[in-house]
Structure 1
Amino acid sequence: MNKELKSEYYLRQLERELKVLPAGERAAIVTEIESHIGRVERGAPVEKVLSDMGAPLTVARRYLSAKGVPESGGGRWLRWFAIATVVFFGLIFTSGLALVWHLSPIIKVDGAKGRVTLLGGLIDVNEELGQVKVGDLVVNDAEEPSVRVEGERDLGDGDVKLIRIPFNTAKLEVRASSGSTLAWKCRAASREAPKVDTAAGILTLDLDLEYRPLLDLASRRNPGPDSRRERAYGCEGSGRGARHRTQ
């Protein structure tokens, strides 16, 4: 490295150490040091001149002290604290992965049963059941023909004004019919039949006994506009009232 590059590098380091000062004051100090180096180095190597002045941090501290600026190591402390924190959590994450790997394989494939499990069962894909499990969340495509729920209810007395369908996740298709019978045909993850109750003119077809999000279908004689809503359950129903398509 030639003397110009050495001097330039020294001055850049000095300016960096003086960053707490306004730009004008930093420029004045750097210019003063640059002039000093230019005068002295005529009779001595630049390395000796820079060594005699001291490290950029030392020179910067002298100027800061003369201007009454207190020393602050907060920036460096925070930087090293951040580095230590990242390293600490990185070690925890790596140790956790190593522990999971040691206790159970990351990926386990059972081709005979069409089943894939990841991270010791945290994610479970079961083709035989048509089911995907992620933690406590279970999604079932309900395509097995043996798991069906069917039923009907006569609405001929005219007391039902509203049909209420609580469900967790479902694909629903509701159609109007000319008769007075409400019928449902479902492919479900459970063989348990829906609960059907009628109270105060409201018929409740409960497709989920644990969760209670509601889909209300007003029963009217005249066809209404189509509506569409995406879910994933697999249930068809028909009855007197407005024509709706709901997923």
Structure 2
Amino acid sequence: MEKSKVLVVGGTGYLGRRIVKASLAQGHETYVLFRPEIGLDIDKLQMLLSFKAQGARLVEASLNDHRSLVATMKQVEVVVSAMSGVHFRSHNLQLQLKLVDAIKEAGNVKRFLPSEFGMDPARMGHALEPGRVTFDEKMEIRKAIEEANIGHTYISANCFAAYFVPNLCQMRTLLPPREKVNVYGDGNVKGTDLANQVGVGHYHHIFYEGCLTNFAIGDDGEEEGSLLYPEVQYTRMEEYMKRYA
């Protein structure tokens, strides 16, 4: 396997920390961007130092400092953004657009993976409000990437099992419910605050429309991940759920 210089943005997050470990395990020269705003977050600091002890290179750069971002991009060949989708609204959008601008100016990054990892926004033009904003913003980032002629890969994970399986897709919990389960389909499950409304809207697309399964893979250079990496041993749902028994 060809080795690359890989920069992970958001490397201390839920997904980012796993990407850092995987990159190191594959033998890539791995850089982890950390922001000066890390402040007094001792857990993140210790995680960064753990990455460093494993061979990662820590790079300090502010996402609000274009010059420092460009200087960082000039050191690497691949950039993976793993910014949290929980904070994706507008602020996260602007930060990712800043990454695109810095990559474009640096001119040497061969591949950019933006922070998506959910449902494919290109298939969600019919999405309901207010959750539609999630897909619209991702498409705005895609448009900027493609207009800048940056090599890219979009990853659609179609919902992470660790979030959607253990809790049986219930709102506001990551643990399996013991006494009651809401079944989305009888019209009586109501969304109150904005986060709930967004979540219920997404569930409508997933469970009513089948947006995770009702399409063929292969258009526009799409590839099925399990075919690209046949060596990965996948865990079946039955086995995965045994840990919660």
Q: TM-score, normalised by structure 2?
A: 0.18
> Greater share of helix residues, 1 or 2?
2
- Structure ranking higher in strand proportion: 1
Greater radius of gyration (CA): 1
TM-score (structure 1 length as normaliser): 0.18
